[in-house]
Amino acid sequence: MAANPFTFDRPLPADELVDRVAELEQLLAMAAAGQSVRLAAPRRYGKTTLINALAEAAWQAHEMVPTVVDLSGVTTLDDVVLRITRAYERGLDRGRTRSVWRSLRRRGTTSAQVGVPGVASLGAGVAAPAASSSLAALHDALELPVRVHERTGQRCLVVLDEFQDLFTVADGLDGVLRSHLQHQSASASYVFAGSQPSMMRALFGDRRRPLFEQARALTLEPLPAADLADFVEARLAAAGRDGLLELVDGLVEVSAGHPQRAMLLAHMLFEQADDDPDALPHAVAAALREAGDGLEQTWRFLGDGKRRVLGALAAGHPELTGKAALAHTGHAKGTQAGIRDALAADTLITRDAAGAWRFVDPFLALWLRQER
Ligand SMILES: Nc1ncnc2c1ncn2[C@@H]1O[C@H](COP(=O)(O)OP(=O)(O)O)[C@@H](O)[C@H]1O
Ligand SMILES: [Mg+2]
C-alpha cells in the first residue's frame, strides 16, 4: 500500500499547503516592505506551516535571510539566546551567506556592558549577576540582523514563533525587544506568531506596553472547505483510492476547516478499506482516539463553570447567554457571559462569521458528545 500522504503531527513542507495563498502574499509583501506582523491563531491552526512557507518564499523572492526562532516551552534567557543564534545559523546556511555566519561566530557574543534601554524594566524575574551576562548575550543576539545587514546588505526575516512563551522567562522582554526593533527598519522585518490571540492583543494593542502598535495584526481563519476537499481528493485519487472519494465532502464537514483536524481525519480515512461502508465513521473514531489524550488534558484543566458552558454548546445551544443555554448550565446571565469570554480567550470557542459561537476544535465537541 502507498505511504499515507496526510501529515497531521508536524508542520507541513512549504509546497504542501492547502490555500493560505492570500495570507502568504500579504505576509511576504509586508516583510519585503519592512513591516512587522503579528500572526495570532489557536494551536494547530497552521502558524508554523505558514511561517515556514513564508521563510522559504522570502528567501526565494527577496533574498531575505529567514530566521525562524521557535520559542515554544522556553524557560531561561540562555535558552532564548541559543534558539535565536541557532535560527540565524540555519537561516544563513545557504549559498554565499554561509561565510557570514562563520565570520559572526568567530567574533562571538562580546559587549557585555550594553546600556540599552529596556534592561531597567526587567523585573525580579531576572537575577544578577549570571542573568546580566545572559541578558547581554540576548542583546547581542537581537542585534544579529544589523550585523548580517552590514555584511550582506540583505534584510533578515525574523520570526518569533510561539512568541507568548518568551514571557514565561521574564517580564519586560518586550521592552528589550523594542529597544532593538526600533532601529532595525533597514535590517529586519519581524513576524510574531502566537497561540493566544488575547495575549497577543494585550502585548501589541495596549499603549502602555513597549510593543504597542509595533506590528500589524493578521489572523488565520479555518481552511476553505472547497480547497480542503480538492486537496484531500487529489491525494486519495493519486493513491488510487477511488472508493473513498465520495466521502471527502463529509470529512471536510466534520473537520470544520480546522487544519490539523482535517489532516488527521484524512490520514485516518486513508487507513480504512475502500469497500468499508462505514469508512468515514471509522476514520472519525480513529481520529478521536488519536486526539483523545490531548482532549482529556484540556478538559482536566477546566473548572466546573467552563465545563458547563462547553457542555451547553456541545448540546446544541450556540446562543450561550440565551434561555436554553442558561437552563443547561444553571448560571446567571452575567456569569455565563464572563465564562464565555474566558473560553474565547482560551481559544476554546470562537464566533463564526454569522456571530454564532462554535468550538475552535470540532473534536472537542465530538468528544464531549461521546463521553458524556
Ligand atoms: N495550510 C495547511 N494545509 C493543510 N494542512 C495544514 C495547513 N496548515 C496546517 N496544517 C495541518 O495542521 C497541522 C498543524 O500545523 P502547524 O503549522 O504545526 O500549526 P501551529 O503552528 O499553528 O500549531 C499540520 O501538521 C498539518 O497537518
Ligand atoms: Mg507551531
pLDDT in the model for residue 96: 78
Query: Cα of 336 to ligand 2 centre, how many Å?
Result: 31
pLDDT in the model for residue 16: 86
Q: Residue 343 carries which DSSP code?
A: H
Q: Residue type at 7?
A: T
- Tell me the C-alpha distance between 145 and 147, whole Å: 5
Number of neighbours of residue 266 by Cβ within 10 angstroms:
27
In contact, 30 and 189? CB cutoff 8 Å: yes
Element of type H or E holding 309 = helix 304-314
Assigned superfamily of 20-219: P-loop containing nucleotide triphosphate hydrolases (3.40.50.300)
Structure-derived torsion over alpha carbons of residues 359, 361, 363, 364, reported in degrees to the nearest 10: -60
- DSSP letters, 99-156, are HHHHHHHHH-S-------TTSTT--TTS-TTHHHHHHHHHHHHHTHHHHHHHHH-PPE
Ligand 1 atom closest to Cα of residue 18: 3
pLDDT in the model for residue 122: 46
Q: Which ligand is nearest to the CA of 71?
A: 2
Q: Residue 188 carries which DSSP code?
A: E
Give me the residues paired with residue 218 across strands: 39
> Which residues lie with the beta carbon below 6 Å from any ligand 1 atom?
7-12, 17-18, 20, 41, 43-49, 259-260, 263
pLDDT in the model for residue 355: 86
- Tell me the C-alpha distance between 273 and 281, whole Å: 12
Q: Which ligand is nearest to the CA of 263?
A: 1
- Whose alpha carbon is nearest atom 8 of ligand 1? 46
Q: Which of 51, 80, 83 is nearest to 66 (CA)?
A: 51
pLDDT in the model for residue 180: 96
CA-CA-CA-CA torsion sign (78, 80, 82, 88): negative
Query: Cα of 49 to ligand 2 centre, how many Å?
Result: 7
The three cell numbers of residue 102 are 562563520
Task: Give whole-number Cα distances, 23 to 18, 164, 218, 222, in Å.
Answer: 12, 21, 8, 12
Q: Which of 292, 288, 218, 296 is nearest to 25 (CA)?
A: 218
pLDDT in the model for residue 124: 40
Query: Cα of 46 to ligand 2 centre, how many Å?
Result: 7
pLDDT in the model for residue 110: 41
Give me the residues paired with residue 243 across strands: none
- Whose alpha carbon is nearest atom 16 of ligand 1? 46
363 CA to centre of own chain: 19
Task: Tell me which of 6, 7, 10, 12 to substitute to probe ligand 1's pocket, judged by most ligand atoms within 8 Å of the beta carbon.
Answer: 12
- Tell me the C-alpha distance between 42 and 355, whole Å: 18
Query: Cα of 1 to ligand 2 centre, how many Å?
Result: 30
pLDDT in the model for residue 104: 85
pLDDT in the model for residue 335: 97
- Tell me the C-alpha distance between 353 and 355, whole Å: 5
Query: Cα of 86 to ligand 2 centre, how many Å?
Result: 17
- Whose alpha carbon is nearest atom 15 of ligand 1? 46
Buried b (16+ CB within 10 A) or exposed e, 269-283: bbebeeeeeebbebb
The model's pLDDT over 255-272, given as tens digits with 9 standing for 90+, comes to: 999 999 999 999 999 999
In contact, 23 and 218? CB cutoff 8 Å: yes
The three cell numbers of residue 134 are 545572559
The three cell numbers of residue 246 are 465520495
pLDDT in the model for residue 2: 78
- Whose alpha carbon is nearest atom 20 of ligand 1? 44
Give me the residues paired with residue 161 across strands: 70
- Tell me the C-alpha distance between 181 and 215, whole Å: 11
Task: Give whole-number Cα distances, 289 to 211, 268, 362, in Å.
Answer: 41, 11, 14
The model's pLDDT over 187-208, given as tens digits with 9 standing for 90+, comes to: 999 999 999 888 899 999 999 9
pLDDT under 70: residue ranges of the chain: 1, 108-131, 371-372
Query: Cα of 10 to ligand 2 centre, how many Å?
Result: 8
pLDDT in the model for residue 223: 96
Q: Peptide bond before 129: cis, by omega within 30 degrees of 0?
A: yes
C-alpha atoms less than 13 angstroms from C-alpha of 23 in its C-beta half-sphere: 26
Query: Cα of 186 to ligand 1 centre, how many Å?
Result: 31
Q: Residue type at 334?
A: G
In contact, 18 and 223? CB cutoff 8 Å: yes
User: Alpha-carbon Rg of the chain, whole angstroms?
Assistant: 23
Ligand 1 atom closest to Cα of residue 161: 21
In contact, 232 and 248? CB cutoff 8 Å: yes
